[in-house]
Amino acid sequence: MFNKNPTNFRQPKVFNPKDLSNKPETSNKSLVFKLLKWAFLLVIILAILYLLFYSPIFTIKNFIVDKNFPTSINEHLEQIKGKNIFLIKSSKIKADLLNNFPELTEISVIRGLPDSIKITYNERNPKMIWQTGGRYFLVDENGIIFREIQGVTDLPLVKDNNDLAINIGSHVVSVNFINFVNELRPKLKEGMEFDHFEVNETTFQLDAITVSRLKLKFDTTRSIDSQLEALKKFLADRPNEAEDYIDLRVEGKVFYR
């Protein structure tokens, strides 16, 4: 069927396409802008990286401590100065200090921007001297060897008669043994001329050596007071009979020679 309205042919719809003659030029400008933008970002990133990792602003210059370090530790830390504060690990500084200075403990290392390192620490508390192989070592409250010394001090001296080799940082005795020695020593000094302690096969047994070389044998797992009470009764009942040793390790009995 034919359309009877002739105006549909006389007034056609018109489509005007956009002028595409300048499109290549617009694309080129957009590409140049993008390249410039990325180049600018790259420059910014490189500048930041240089500022953080290569400029002198963030190189370590100062150490902040809550108490004075010994001279030897200060000298050791000098090798860290001048290094970048972001590139050196706090855990590495801590491990290095613990490895080279075992008398330190509970070390905390914190970065202080832009150029400082803050260090807090505690020092081990010596509780006795351990003698082995002719060498003397300080032992802390946990039974850990942490420093070699020359000769004796006013601390309790315990001699290892087996002369077993040990290393700094070794755990040689228990906390119970440390406590036993430090409690027994002043009590012995109240009644006799005491010199030092000795151990043989095990730290469960302890020999207290008097100035006259008499050995008093103790069990470190038993009560100090009960063993000293037995010693007191023995010396009151049989003074000057024991010339070699008095063995107090068995409850209710005293062996002597």
The answer to whether the CB of 256 falls within 8 A of the CB of 241 is yes
Range with the largest mean pLDDT of 2-16, 61-75, 222-236? 222-236
| 56 cis-preceded (ω within 30 degrees of 0) | no
Reported pTM: 0.75
Helices (H) and strands (E) in the chain, counts: 6, 12
Digit-coded pLDDT (tens) for 75-86: 899 999 999 999
Architecture in CATH for domain 56-123 = Roll (3.10)
pLDDT at position 25 is 58
Q: How confident is the model at residue 36 (pLDDT cuts 50, 70, 90)?
A: confident
SS3 60: coil
- Nearest Cα to Cα of residue 170 among 197, 147, 202, 201: 147
Q: To the nearest whole number, what is the mean pLDDT of the chain?
A: 89
pLDDT band of 69, cuts 50, 70, 90: confident
pLDDT, tens digit, 9 for 90 and up, residues 139-164: 999 999 999 999 888 999 999 999 99
CB 104 within 8 A of CB 85: no
Q: Which one of 3.40.50, 1.10.3470, 3.40.630, 1.20.272 gives the CATH number of domain 126-256?
A: 3.40.50
Distance CA 154, CA 63 (A): 34
Domain ranges within the chain, ordered by starting residue: 56-123, 126-256
Query: Cβ(129)–Cβ(143) under 8 Å?
Result: no
Closest by Cα among 163, 121, 128, 177 to 149: 128
Question: Does residue 107 register a pLDDT over 90?
Answer: yes
Grade residue 1 by pLDDT with cuts at 50, 70 and 90.
Answer: very low
Collapsed DSSP state (helix, strand, coil) of residue 116: strand
Residue 2: pLDDT band (50, 70, 90) is: very low
Instruction: Read off the pLDDT of residues 86-104 as tens digits, 9 standing for 90 and up.
Output: 999 999 999 999 999 999 9
Query: What is the chain's alpha carbon radius of gyration, rounded to the nearest angstrom?
Result: 40
Confidence tier at 236 by pLDDT (50, 70, 90)? very high
